[in-house]
């Protein structure tokens, strides 16, 4: 099956901070909802860019309260912040957005407020049904929250994507771009996108490649080597530990450059099996695509979240005693000692 077309072409030129006016975000009473990795990084970067009216909204009893206060921010409970703010960056966990919206934000909504989202999940899959008199904006730095801050402190930024799902005020694009520049993405480049594109790309990438696919390949490689008589220690090094080295090469040089940097034996063997593995994976990837595009994954995940993440924690616990992790713990203790 084919993916829905992207809303923007690959020829769209990125925007940079010199082209973007930060006045729209500086003029707002900005509420950062949640103070995890993304919430903290966004708040700190925006403040460094001169955004002064920032409040952190947290649930009562949140363990993040002390950190936000130590960082010098005013902290309010969700309802008080919902009344105070006129622009909201909703950076709590995606699966919690529906509850936050229903219980705290929607009851205090007024025409003209803007709601910004780092991911497309909660809008694309209907966790939030926004009122027509609100601006609904995608403001998505592409990377983990820690990298948003760390890259900024090094003088750079992450590539970002913005989208305007609903523009009741007529100024939504300017606000989204100002926010993106304020978290540092204007240093690297900001591209247009949509909530749908971001949600599909993010979820499919995580499930099929970056997390689910990577772990499955590593596990299969480890188990196959052990079955063939290789020690768990050696199997861990060759099927798990060295992933980082190859990932770093691809990150800095691309796939072509990575192949040029490794041994000819490794490259020759890789080319022999690339298509075989891709062919075997194709039906699995198609199934994942259908699950995500239909919204079934989102429904299942929200249902599990509302049951206190029962299946998630059960699956995580199953890894605790897996031989791969046991071998890894032993080898990491030795490797860390020498690699630092």
What is the set of domains in the chain, with CATH numbers? 17-193 (3.40.50.720), 203-339 (1.10.1040.10)
Choosing from 104, 119, 241, 322, the catalytic residue is 119
- Give the separation between CA 114 and CA 25, rounded to whole angstroms: 11
Q: What pLDDT digit, counting tens, does each position of 259-311 carry?
A: 999 999 999 999 999 999 999 999 999 999 999 999 999 999 999 999 999 99
Q: Is 108 a catalytic residue?
A: no
Asked if residue 335 has pLDDT above 80, the reply is no
Strand-by-strand arrangement of the 54-58 sheet: 74-77, 54-58, 30-33, 87-90, 114-117, 135-141, 160-166, 190-192
pLDDT in the model for residue 3? 40
pLDDT in the model for residue 115? 98
pLDDT in the model for residue 339? 61
pLDDT in the model for residue 6? 45
Enclosing H/E stretch for 31: strand 30-33
63, 81 contact by CB (below 8 A): no
Q: List residues bridging with 77 in a β-sheet.
A: 58
Q: What is the pTM of this model?
A: 0.88
Asked if residue 338 has pLDDT above 80, the reply is no
Structure tokens belonging to residue 181: 């520049």
Report the pLDDT averaged over residues 203-211: 93
Largest Cα span, the chain: 67
């Amino acid at each position: 099956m084919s993916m829905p077309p992207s809303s923007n072409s690959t020829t769209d030129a990125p925007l940079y901070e010199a082209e973007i006016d930060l006045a729209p975000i500086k003029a707002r009473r900005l509420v950062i909802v949640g103070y995890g990795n993304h919430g903290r990084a966004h708040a700190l970067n925006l403040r460094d860019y001169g955004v002064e009216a920032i409040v952190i909204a947290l649930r009562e009893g949140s363990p993040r309260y002390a950190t936000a206060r130590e960082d010098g921010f005013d902290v309010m409970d969700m309802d008080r912040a919902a009344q105070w703010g006129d622009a909201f960056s909703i950076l709590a966990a995606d699966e919690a957005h529906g509850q936050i919206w229903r219980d705290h934000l929607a009851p205090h909504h007024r025409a003209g407020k803007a709601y910004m989202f780092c991911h497309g999940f909660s809008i694309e899959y209907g966790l939030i049904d926004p009122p027509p008199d609100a601006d609904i904006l995608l403001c998505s730095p592409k990377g983990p929250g820690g990298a948003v801050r760390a890259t900024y402190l090094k003088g750079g930024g992450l590539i970002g994507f913005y989208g305007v799902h609903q523009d009741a005020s007529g100024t939504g694009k300017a606000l989204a771009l100002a926010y993106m520049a304020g978290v540092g993405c204007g240093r690297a480049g900001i591209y247009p996108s949509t909530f749908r594109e971001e949600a599909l790309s993010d979820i499919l990438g995580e499930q099929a490649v970056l997390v689910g696919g990577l772990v499955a390949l590593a596990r299969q490689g480890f188990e196959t080597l052990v079955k063939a008589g290789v020690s768990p220690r050696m199997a861990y090094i060759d099927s798990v530990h060295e992933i980082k080295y190859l990932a770093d090469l691809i990150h800095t040089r691309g796939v072509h450059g990575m192949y040029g940097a490794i041994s000819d034996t490794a490259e020759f063997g890789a080319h022999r099996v690339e298509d075989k593995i891709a062919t075997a994976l194709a039906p699995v990837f198609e199934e994942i695509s259908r699950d995500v595009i239909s919204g079934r994954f989102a429904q299942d995940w929200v249902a599990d979240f509302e049951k206190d993440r029962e299946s998630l924690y059960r699956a995580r616990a199953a890894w605790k005693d897996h031989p791969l992790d046991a071998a890894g713990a032993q080898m990491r203790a030795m490797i860390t000692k020498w690699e630092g």
